Structure 1
Amino acid sequence: MECRKERNLKMCTCTYPYCEKKGLCCECVAYHRERGEIPGCFFPPEVEKTYDRSIEAFIKAYKR
């Protein structure tokens, strides 16, 4: 399967400036999954900017 990095970059909401996986969604998901985390693009912008990719942070962000 061919990666569409340039297309993905246009939609990527990750603000981490040193991310080597930006635009490489399958690598990003695998990276965070291995660490028990969730990729930044699943978080609301104000929470994504904290760089806390924990499952707990995700639940807290969407718990209302």
Structure 2
Amino acid sequence: MNGKGDAVVMMDYQYRRRAFQNLHVEQEEAKKEFQIQIKKGKSLLASVAAWFSFFHHTS
């Protein structure tokens, strides 16, 4: 290949590599956010369960 074609191939490779890295970062962020939502959901569920338990025993 000539120098111009090599540059296009290299740019394409760098673009794909960057896109793949960004995808990986986004996947990790999504996993962390999902774990946070699960923790919040569990604590909310525990709070509701505790409230119902308290309400049931006081009525």
Q: TM-score, normalised by structure 1?
A: 0.24
Q: TM-score, normalised by structure 2?
A: 0.25
Task: Name whichever structure is richer in helix by fraction.
Answer: 2
Asked which structure has the greater RCO (Cα within 8 Å, sep 6+), the reply is 1
